[in-house]
Amino acid sequence: MKESIALNQKNLPLFTEKLDCPRYDRSQVKAGIIHIGVGGFHRSHQAYYTDRLMNETDSSEWGICGVGLRDADRKIGDILAKQDYLYTLIVKHPDGKIENRVIGSIVDFMLGCDDPTAVIQRMAHADTKIVSLTITEGGYNFNAATGEFDCKNPGVKHDILNPDQPQTVFGFLTAALKLRRAAGLPAFTIQSCDNIQHNGNMARKVLLAFAHKQDAELATWIEREVRFPNAMVDRITPVTTPADIQYLDTELGLKDEWPVTCEPFIQWVIEDSFSNGRPAWEDVGAQFVPDVTPYETMKIRLLNAGHSVLGILGSLHGHQTIDGCVADTLFATYLRRFMDFEVTPVLEPVEGIHLDDYKDCLIERFGNPNIKDNLARICLESSSKLPKFLIATIRENLASGGSIEYATLVIAAWCYYSDKGINEHGVPLDIVDEMKSELHKAATATARDPLAFLKLKSIFGELAKDKTFTKTYSNMIQAIYENPKIAQHMQAILFGRE
């Protein structure tokens, strides 16, 4: 058998016949963007757009230097370095067609926990124009109920006292901006690419709260000089599996230790507000708009919440993946009704988008049988996802007198899931959540007090005081604890509507 060839710059010419490869001279690319959080999503989305841009236009000042802040990021850093920062993007269509592409837009990687000074200096370098972020919903470190920055976080406390040896993203950003201000350099843009409503405003709010604690004068400068464009980002990117690595090896004779798989759909809607220039991402399909709010709300409340609905209910039922859920008529119908009855009424019209088409397209995307998006990924860190994705919709429907049953069942099911930690067949659930023990503790008190789970105020705020909500919720809790077969409760809601 022929040995497969390692992916790296030297070997790139050997692959150009087999798949799309960067056509630009990577040795000339400067890192105008520092990206914190080089996970699968960054690599299938922003790095992909930027790679296309460099292929199609002269944009060599907009390469990306990846940054990881924690030791857990060492693996991706080491693999990328070994491969000259190249990796393969495997785009899987629903009909089985696969498009492979080597992405070259990442040109360097640095690990903050190894050498914070080097990362700060790189961010403070004149070449750096944008620092972009995918640090997950939890990374913004705010209390979901109050929306305020959490100054008690140990990393934050450390960084306030040790500005030169930061551990958190806030410490790194302020240290770098401080150097830029001292050097008379323009501020960089801070560009959030996370699924948070008004992600730019949120990044601004938490960074300013942090900077005020550390250096009030610097905070005023940041407030004036740094732009934080809001954006809606979208591309479903499941966790890479050993089968993806094997596929490249067998089919293309290419050895890539960490490729990324994703769906063909991609969207990026950005507010055109940058402190120090930006790439012409619109040349490769991104959309610049004056106000991204309606796009963000639509995406977070339909796609991300839709994922969570399937994720929590599907996990209890014993489904493994999103496409597995959508292939089950009960789950597909439930999802569509949730979108139609509970989300659509709280959305504003979105220019250029017909909501029915958008929902049809979402269900088609979820059903892509080649994107085996695991429910464990979807349910990861639910405590920082559900307040924004789902609970916000419940709250708005409570205010307007709209339907809440579809979403409330998910909350009641989440309580049962956090309490028991097993699905309805007794199989242990793979729960990964910063708040796992608090969730479990609150949920186990349900036997004594049906509303116990709602006492987690950082998640539910004052929802426990809303009579309409608690009535629906406690009935569902009682029903699920008596009979955990979640499909029967979903059916009860669906038939009750007919």
Closest contact distance (angstroms) between CB of 305 and ligand CS2 is 8
User: Cβ distance 200 to 271 under 8 Å?
Assistant: yes
- Cα gap 415→426, rounded to integer Å: 16
CB of 463 to ligand CS2, least distance (A): 21
25 in Cβ contact with 55 (< 8 Å): no
Rounded to whole angstroms, the Cα distance separating 442 from 459 reads 12
Nearer to ligand CS2, 278 or 385 (CB): 385
Kindly state the smallest distance separating residue 234's Cβ from ligand CS2, in Å: 4
Q: Which residue's Cβ lies closest to ligand CS2?
A: 307
Tell me: does residue 368 bind ligand CS2 (CB under 6 A).
no
C-alpha to C-alpha distance for 169 and 175, rounded to whole angstroms? 10
Out of 234, 323, 342, 433, which residue is the one contacting ligand CS2 (CB under 6 A)?
234
Interacting residues of 58 by C-beta distance below 8 A, sequence separation 6+? none
Closer residue to ligand CS2 (CB): 22 or 37: 37
User: Which among 375, 411, 418 has a CA at the least distance from the CA of 391?
Assistant: 411
Taking the least distance from each CB to ligand CS2, the nearer of 207 and 371 is: 371
Least distance (Å) between residue 195 CB and ligand CS2:
5
Identify the DSSP state of 18: T
Nearer to ligand CS2, 129 or 388 (CB): 388
The DSSP H or E segment spanning 203 is helix 199-214
Query: Could you give the C-alpha distances from 104 to 29, 66, 284, in angstroms and in order?
Result: 10, 12, 16
Listed ranges 51-59, 63-71, 299-307, 490-498: which one lies at the site for ligand CS2 (CB under 6 A)? 299-307
Does position 195 bind ligand CS2 by CB under 6 A?
yes
Nearest to 48 by CA among 15, 27, 70, 22: 22
Cα–Cα distance for residue pair 114/463, rounded to 1 Å: 43
Minimum distance of ligand CS2 from residue 337's CB (angstroms): 19
**# residues near ligand CS2 by CB under 6 A:** 9
> Residue 78: how many CB atoms within 10 A of its CB?
14
Smallest gap from Cβ 409 to ligand CS2, in A, equals: 18
Smallest gap, in angstroms, from Cβ of residue 458 to ligand CS2?
A: 19
Q: Of 78-86, 119-127, 228-236, 282-290, which part binds ligand CS2 (CB under 6 A)?
A: 228-236
Residue 376-395 contact track with ligand CS2, rule CB under 6 A, x = bound? --x------x----------
CA triplet 73, 78, 84: central angle to 5 degrees?
A: 125
For residues 366 and 263, what is the distance between their CA atoms, to the nearest angstrom? 10
Q: Per CB under 6 A, which region of 111-119, 252-260, 302-310, 330-338 contacts ligand CS2?
A: 302-310
User: Do 364 and 94 meet the contact criterion of CB atoms below 8 Å apart?
Assistant: yes
Which residues 136-165 are close enough to bind ligand CS2 by CB under 6 A?
none
Nearer to ligand CS2, 343 or 378 (CB): 378
Q: Does 236 bind ligand CS2 (CB under 6 A)?
A: yes
Q: How many whole angstroms separate alpha carbon 291 and alpha carbon 234?
A: 17
- Residue 88 or residue 195: which is nearer to ligand CS2 going by CB? 195
Name the one range near ligand CS2 by CB under 6 A: 203-211, 231-239, 348-356, 456-464: 231-239
Residue 307 lies near ligand CS2 (rule: CB under 6 A): yes
| Residue 18 exposed, middle or buried by CB count within 10 Å (0-12, 13-18, 19+) | middle
Pairing of strands 231-234, 267-271: antiparallel
Closest distance to ligand CS2 from the beta carbon of 92 (Å): 14
Nearer to ligand CS2, 36 or 310 (CB): 310
Q: How far is the CB of 307 from ligand CS2 (least distance, A)?
A: 4
Give the interface with ligand CS2 as residue ranges (CB under 6 A).
195, 234-236, 303-304, 307, 378, 385
